[in-house]
Amino acid sequence: MSGTAKSDSGRQILGILGGMGPEATADFFRKVVDATPAAKDQDHIHILVNCDPSIPDRTENILGRGPDPLPALIEAGKRLAAAGATVGAIPCMTAHHWMDALRAALPFPFLSAFEELGRRIRSDYPQAKRIGVLATTGSIRAGLYEKHLTDWRIHFPDEEAQTRFVMEAVYGKHGIKAGNRGDEPRRLLREAGNRLVARGADLLVAGCTEIPLALKPGDFEVPVLDPMQVLARAAVDYCRGGRA
């Protein structure tokens, strides 16, 4: 966190740097609204969203196959700054690969989904030792989980399960990014998650913003944390002055 600038009126304005993808952005916006204890409109926090779907694919770049998304991410952040954002959040785990560069380039601080996730596991699941991660190959290869969740043993699906189940559920023809929230992506994700539980994971992280869209409560025997839900609550607390 690089500062605590406030808007002219003294109120925080949350800037959601989104579009990666638009589905996940709409879902995160909803999570922020739902995470707010409110009886009337005026109890809610002020939110700006920049949903720019033209930001180059993060996974493709990390895998060495596509353009660097950083210039577009900075440009998207500047639009939020121009509109008055005082704190940022990014509803895309993979994009957190560029978090340090974004924090350096933009005039407002960013909450990190990884930092908030670690904070939440420590407080709510102190017994957890092994974390199973369902995430896109890009965010796995970026090493974000090992980098940020150093207090736990991290398990990923093996290469075959990652390709056949997780990536297919997100990017496949009948996958979530194609607008599908039906049984097929859910079946694929349960297959991948149950294999991690069988290997000893005592907590699962639905670590690509699209993945929770296809899952339902009770899909696994162990708790499942949605980092976007964790980030939404942290953003609301921050904007309402609940923490520094």
The residue ranges that bind a second copy (CB under 8 A) are 9, 11, 19-23, 25-26, 29-30, 33-34, 36, 38-55, 57, 79-80, 82-84, 177-179
Q: Is the peptide bond before 143 cis (omega within 30 degrees of 0)?
A: no
From the candidates 89, 188, 201, 208, which is the catalytic residue?
208
Q: How far is the CB of 9 from a second copy (least distance, A)?
A: 8
By the 8 A CB rule, do 114 and 122 touch? no
Cβ proximity to a second copy, 131 vs 166, nearer residue: 166
Q: Is-catalytic flag, 239? A: no
Q: How far is the CB of 152 from a second copy (least distance, A)?
A: 31
Q: How far is the CB of 191 from a second copy (least distance, A)?
A: 24
From the candidates 92, 188, 201, 239, which is the catalytic residue?
92
Taking the C-alpha atoms of residue 78 and residue 206, their distance in angstroms, rounded to an integer, is 29
- DSSP letter for each residue of 177-225: GGT--SHHHHHHHHHHHHHHHHTT-SEEEE-STTGGGT--TTSSSS-EE
227 vs 90, 116, 204, 206, CA distance in Å? Answer: 11, 8, 11, 7
Cβ proximity to a second copy, 84 vs 118, nearer residue: 84
Cβ proximity to a second copy, 179 vs 223, nearer residue: 179
Q: How far is the CB of 107 from a second copy (least distance, A)?
A: 14
Taking the C-alpha atoms of residue 49 and residue 59, their distance in angstroms, rounded to an integer, is 22
Residue 170 is inside which H or E element, if any? helix 168-171
Cβ proximity to a second copy, 39 vs 104, nearer residue: 39
Q: How far is the CB of 35 from a second copy (least distance, A)?
A: 11
Token pair 């993060």 in the structure block, residue: 58
Which residues have CB under 8 Å from 97's CB, separation 6+? 58, 62, 138, 139, 142, 144
Cβ proximity to a second copy, 36 vs 112, nearer residue: 36
User: Which are the catalytic amino acids?
Assistant: 92, 208
